[in-house]
Structure 1
Amino acid sequence: MPERRTLLRSLLAGATLALPLAPRGIAQIADAPAPDFPGIADWLNADVPPSLAALRGRVVLIDVWTYSCINCRRTVPSLNRLQAEYGVAGLQVIGIHTPEFGFERQRPDVEAAVRSLGIRFPVGQDNGFQSWRAWGIRAWPSFLLLDQTGRIVLRREGEGHMGEIEAAIRALLGLPPGAAGRAAAEDPDLSGIRTPEIHFGARGGPASAAYALDGRWSKEAEALVLRSAEGGLRLRFHAAKLHLVCAAPEPAALRVVVDDGTPATVTVERPTLYTLYDGESYAEHRIEVRATAPGLTLYSATFG
């Protein structure tokens, strides 16, 4: 089982791998040849399947992501901007979608996510984790920057690295360093998040003390499934936002109450990420989620 993206919490404050200094203004460098794109079942946003051989001579930024991951979703605007601004100078962004959950393997659902997120670069489906393993990926999202000879010169995990990545891209393209400040400003400040991501399935480890359940639930490999006619989730968290990866067999109106406030309704159906609380400031919160029909499936809770 690959590492969850909770690994990123300890890396967000400027993750640095033990790599030697690089020339031409690139802060750190892996200096390793990249394999091509092994195991890609399908390509989206591409008339011709990309290959590293065909991209030789261009700088390539590989984004390994999955569509239910809020950390991945938040980087899309920056990636689109990098492609738009530096594509003419020799940059190509490539997305590799490697599914965290089983429901993320279906092409129509990945296509829908690519459209809704507005992704404007090629995306390959790595359903068998072959590219993930070949590149030594550990978490969602991960970024690999390749120079014009196809060698990996920078690896980063999680959010908070777009300023560094843009500076490295400019250095590889022979551009002056001063204009990379916009990407740094786009990096979110996640220092106020004090609750780690929660995975509700058996593979996610023991139950977190942060949440409690009402009703009868079964614990599956990837999720908790409500088996009784009704049930609920009570969760304490310290963050500004709460996102729930969940699903229901039929459209289900969940009753959501935050901090004993006015109840709100969130309709859940297909498995994906739903925002249950979208606040502006970091604080301690309590949320109660109530379902009035069996089948609600809880995969994970993530915070922002």
Structure 2
Amino acid sequence: MLFFLASLFRKRLRCWFAGAALVALGLGVATFTNLSAAGEAGDKAMKSHRSDLPVLGQLPSLGGASAWLNSPPLDAAQLRGKVVLVDFWTYSCINCIRTLPHVRAWAEKYRAQGLVVIGVHTPEFGFEKDNANIRKAIARFKIDYPIAVDSEHRIWNAFNNNAWPVFYFADAQGRVRARLAGEGSYDKAETIIQSLLAEAGKPHAAGAPTTPWASAEQAAPDIAHLRSGETYVGYEQASNFSSPNGLKRDATYDYVMNAPHLNEWGLAGNWTVGAERANLNRADGSIAYRFNARDLHLVLGPRADGMPVRFQVRIDGHAPGADHGSDTDAEGNGVVTEARLYQLVRQSGKVKEHTFEIRFLDAGVGAFAFTFG
């Protein structure tokens, strides 16, 4: 269980896969400001539907956004009288991606009753700061609620946030009433939304929890068989590297592959490993990982000039067949066309330990991080 919790929270702390054990409702009061004002009883008309949720403080400012997508800028005055869900996410984070079906469903289901969902897109990797890339992700994931672009981490810092994904729930008086960190606990999150809407005079918001359908990388993970955790490729956070002589920081180097043990990985070919990514300098380089999980994903980017990079995936030396991911075919073929997370393996039968290898047929690819599900 400890491995599960540690490996599935994306952190800066990257991302979390929370479940009930990681729900935080009673966040330290130092996180927010104006606590004495926030503790006032509020509108007497709401007393009959008063939630038992604590008051954690006033909703911090969203004024640090460098841009707003799907919406004009929103501020506290515009949000007063609305129940607000603030979702900190970044578009290559698998844990964030898997929350999106639920967040989209809540935004649609409760919009008419006074819920405002705001996605705060705070990047981890450099390519996630590009507004064009964020717009592509919004279209890819069919997001229609407001997105605050937080590329300078100003909103992140205003909230004292430290991970992706994290949900903050604010009531109609602009007070933060709950914080949930990570994947999972969707029923709890929806119950919080319903209770705050009821408190705001919308008692009919109660009902059965939403069960959205999801496929490909947005589908829920297979927790029971998950034995591999997020692994960075850039040297700043890299671990379990198995190629001889180790990673060479910011240097062009010809790597040779050793057969990796479980949760180890290695490089073959001519690569330059930087702080957050490894760049392939010549065609026919590869990356291998020994993993045990239903799904294997790899965050990849195309050439610096934007040209695509072709690749082939092998599982234990063979084409993946029915075990291919949504970004490969049965022969293991795929193309890196944009900087994002690629689902490369989804085991269709019994989940077993395997050696994954991806070979790039063109130079210039950037590799950032493995994630699993």
TM-score scaled by structure 2? 0.73
Q: Secondary structure at the match of 1:182?
A: coil
2:279 equivalent among 225, 231, 239:
225
Which residue of the partner structure matches residue 179 of structure 1?
A: 207
* 1:226–1:297 contact (8 Å) kept in structure 2: yes
Superposed displacement of residue 66, structure 1: 0.9
Structure 2 residue 371 is the aligned partner of structure 1 residue 299: no
Question: Distance in 2 between the 1:36 and 1:113 partners?
Answer: 25
| CA shift digits 1:242-287 (9 cap, x unpaired) | 1111123132211101233324111113211111112345432221
Amino acid paired to 1:285: H
**Structure 1 stretch 251-260 or stretch 180-189: which is displaced more?**
180-189
Which residue of the partner structure matches residue 15 of structure 1?
A: 22
Q: Secondary structure at the match of 1:171?
A: helix
RMSD over aligned Cα atoms: 2.5
Question: Distance in 2 between the 1:184 and 1:32 partners?
Answer: 31
Q: Secondary structure at the match of 2:236?
A: helix
* 1:35–1:134 contact (8 Å) kept in structure 2: yes
Question: Distance in 1 between the 2:105 and 2:295 partners?
Answer: 25
* 1:26–1:167 contact (8 Å) kept in structure 2: no
* 1:243–1:301 contact (8 Å) kept in structure 2: yes
| Inter-CA distance 295–171: structure 2 relative to 1 (3 Å threshold) | same
Unaligned stretches of 5+ residues in structure 1: none
Q: Secondary structure at the match of 1:179?
A: coil
Which residue of the partner structure matches residue 158 of structure 1?
A: 182
2:317 equivalent among 260, 279, 292:
260
Structure 1 residues 1-304: aligned runs within 5 Å: 3-6=12-15, 8-9=16-17, 11-12=18-19, 14-17=21-24, 19=26, 29=54, 31-46=56-71, 48-174=72-198, 175=203, 179-183=207-211, 188=220, 190-191=222-223, 192-208=225-241, 210-249=264-303, 250-262=307-319, 263-280=331-348, 282-304=351-373
* 1:198–1:208 contact (8 Å) kept in structure 2: no
Q: Which has the larger radius of gyration?
A: 2
* 1:62–1:143 contact (8 Å) kept in structure 2: yes
Q: Secondary structure at the match of 2:187?
A: helix
Amino acid paired to 1:276: L
TM-score scaled by structure 1? 0.89
Superposed displacement of residue 30, structure 1: 5.4
Question: Distance in 2 between the 1:73 and 1:185 partners?
Answer: 13
Amino acid paired to 1:226: L
* 2:106–2:210 contact (8 Å) kept in structure 1: no
Amino acid paired to 2:294: A
Q: Secondary structure at the match of 1:113?
A: helix
Question: Distance in 1 between the 2:289 and 2:155 partners?
Answer: 36
Question: Distance in 2 between the 1:26 and 1:261 partners?
Answer: 56
* 2:23–2:181 contact (8 Å) kept in structure 1: no
Q: Secondary structure at the match of 1:103?
A: helix
Which residue of the partner structure matches residue 30 of structure 2?
A: none
Question: Distance in 2 between the 1:65 and 1:92 partners?
Answer: 16
* 2:197–2:205 contact (8 Å) kept in structure 1: no
| Inter-CA distance 28–116: structure 2 relative to 1 (3 Å threshold) | same
Q: Secondary structure at the match of 1:64?
A: strand
Number of residues of Structure 1 aligned to a counterpart in Structure 2: 298
Amino acid paired to 2:363: P
Amino acid paired to 1:143: F
Amino acid paired to 2:365: L
Amino acid paired to 1:40: A
Q: Secondary structure at the match of 2:358?
A: strand
Instruction: Provide the identity percentage.
Output: 32
* 1:236–1:287 contact (8 Å) kept in structure 2: yes
Q: Secondary structure at the match of 2:24?
A: coil
* 1:162–1:184 contact (8 Å) kept in structure 2: no
Question: Distance in 2 between the 1:177 and 1:283 partners?
Answer: 43
Amino acid paired to 1:140: W
Amino acid paired to 2:139: R
Question: Distance in 1 between the 2:77 and 2:211 partners?
Answer: 28
